[in-house]
Chain A
Amino acid sequence: MTANPCAEILGVDERDILQEIMNIGFGSAAADLAGVIDLHVQLSVPQVRLLPASELPGYIDREVPDPGEITIIEQNFWSRFKGTALLVFPSGAGKALLGFLGEVGEHAFESDPLRILEKETLMEVGNILVGACVGKVAELLGDIVTYSPPRVLSGSLDDAALTRKVSDPGNHVIVLRTAFHFGNRDVQGHLFLVARHESVTWLRRALQGFMSRYA
């Protein structure tokens, strides 16, 4: 163990570039979401953190104001930029977004509990949001990403499973965090992008490549 293991992954400069890229990427994602599909979403200035994988669940818990009743949508993305996107919605967000998708309920079973529809709604909205944000950041770094279908994690974060998924517990992960707010629906939540340890080498090179265009 060195004094500052995080520095081995990403230097201060590289972290700043990544933050700037996210800022540009998310800004353009928000503009496209509003322009193309009429989804008005505000994204806060993103933060970049380097964490030991084992501290990830604790970090997410601390960053979400009321971790009591939440719904988490998980979606994996892979290419040279690999990782997991986690969207954390407060309870009730599904209800608030139900109408957004239009003809919900028409084909659903009469006996389907409302919460199944809410989950499905959150998955669809989450899929679009993750696709826009991850896609834009990857595009700026010269990568094209493939996605797994989104899925709902039951109520809380399974600490061990999450840590295992994103990295060996001994490794570090890069966490990109932003808060989002659906302007016309009064729904807010948090988006965490967790880059897998394997993509770090590629990420460093891509960040340097991005900077060299301006050097």
Chain B
Amino acid sequence: MNFAGVCDILNLGIVILDAEYRIRYWNDWMAMHSGIPREEMLGRDLFDAYPVLDTPAIRRSFKSVFTFGNFGFFSQKLHGHLFPIRTTGSFQGTFEHMQQSCTVCPLREGDGAGVTHVCITVQDVTEVAAYEKLLLEMNFRDSLTGVYNRRYFTSRLKEEFERHRRYKRSMSMLMIDID
């Protein structure tokens, strides 16, 4: 039995790149969510297909995986997403793009050989990110008026005070009675 088909039934995006960043594999999940079929993607330059990915940080991560054979991690918190895929359904209002947690893994031809390809896995974490965003909102806003609450004031004050200390610039606070 050929187990290669497993990559197409996983609830996970899988993209494999060669050392020239050409796409060598694009699984069904990627085809389904991006709307671009595999045949169109195979052999294409990743940065040509997705110019938004052509950033120093992303190139650095790929280079690091090719050179050191380590794993690259693109967290949703720091990056939001790698592949810009529009959200559908109930999260459309919360996020424009599907929130992703991505990993870049090294692939070798044989034991002891150098890294020849990298595999990118894409996990959809939109639902968790949306709940987290909602919780943060609930934590910082008054539910009746939608105005920021005291907790938000305290945390922002702390941040601003740290900024003031770091850059040694003056800081002022206005207190306005608006009712």
Point out residues on A near B: beta carbons under 8 Å: 29, 32, 36-38, 95, 101-104, 106-109, 111-114, 116-117, 120-121, 123-124, 127-128, 130-132, 134-136, 139, 142, 144-147, 149-150
* Contact A38 B71, beta carbon cutoff 8 Å: no
Once the chains bind, are B70 and A135 in contact (CB under 8 Å)?
yes
B71 contacts A32, C-beta separation under 8 Å: no
Tell me if B78 and A127 are in contact (CB < 8 A).
Answer: no
Q: Is the CB of A149 within 8 A of B103?
A: yes
Interchain CB contact under 8 A, B77 and A120: yes
Closest 9 CB pairs of A and B: A131-B70, A107-B80, A120-B78, A102-B57, A135-B68, A37-B60, A131-B68, A132-B68, A147-B71
Q: Is the CB of A107 within 8 A of B103?
A: no
Given A101-B57, A144-B111, is A121 in contact with B68 using a C-beta cutoff of 8 Å? no
Question: Which partner residue on chain B sits nearest A104 by CB separation?
Answer: B78
| Chain A residues within 8 Å of B137, by CB | 111
Apart from A117-B78, A120-B78, A134-B70: 14 A-B pairs, beta carbons within 8 A: A37-B60, A95-B166, A104-B78, A107-B78, A109-B133, A120-B75, A124-B75, A127-B70, A127-B73, A135-B69, A142-B112, A144-B69, A144-B111, A149-B71
How distant is B179 from chain A, measured CB to nearest CB, in Å? 25
Residue from A109, A121, A127 in contact with B71 in the complex, judged by beta carbons closer than 8 Å:
A127
Which B residues are CB-close (under 8 A) to A36? 63-64, 67
Neighbour of B77 across the interface among A102, A108, A114, A136, CB < 8 A: A108
Q: How far is the CA of A139 from the CA of B115 in the complex (A)?
A: 12
Contacts of A142 in B (CB 8 A): 112
Given A109-B136, A116-B77, A128-B70: A144 in contact with B112 (beta carbons within 8 A): yes
* Docked-complex contact A124 and B55, CB < 8 angstroms: no
Main secondary structure of the interface of B (DSSP, over half): helix
Look across to chain B and name the residue whose beta carbon is closest to the beta carbon of A112.
B77
- Is there a chain A Cβ closer than 8 Å to B155's Cβ? yes
B101 and chain A: residue at smallest CB distance: A149
How many residues in B have their beta carbons less than 8 Å from beta carbons of A?
33
Which residues from chain B contact A106 at a C-beta distance below 8 Å?
80
Q: Is there an interface contact between A32 and B77, defined as CB atoms closer than 8 Å?
A: no
Q: Can you name the residue of chain A whose Cβ is closest to the Cβ of B80?
A: A107
Residue of A nearest to B72 (CB): A127
Decide: B70 and A108 in contact? CB cutoff 8 A.
Answer: no
A123-B166 in contact (CB<8A) = no
Would B55 and A103 count as touching, CB distance under 8 A?
yes
Chain A residues lying within 8 Å of B72, measured Cβ to Cβ, are 127
B14-69 contacts to A (CB < 8 Å): 55-57, 60-61, 63-64, 67-69
> With a CB–CB cut-off of 8 A, which chain B residues contact A134?
70
Selected A-B contacts with CB under 8 Å, 11 pairs: A37-B67, A102-B57, A103-B57, A107-B81, A111-B136, A111-B137, A112-B77, A117-B78, A121-B78, A132-B64, A149-B73
The closest CB in chain A to the CB of B139 belongs to: A111
Alpha-carbon distance between A113 and B152 when the two chains are bound, in angstroms = 10
Residues of B within 8 A of A123 (CB): 73, 75
B166 to chain A, nearest CB (A): 7
CB of B142 closer than 8 Å to a CB of A? no
Q: A142 vs B69: C-alpha distance in the bound complex, in angstroms? A: 13
Instruction: Let me know if A101 and B63 touch, CB within 8 A.
Output: no
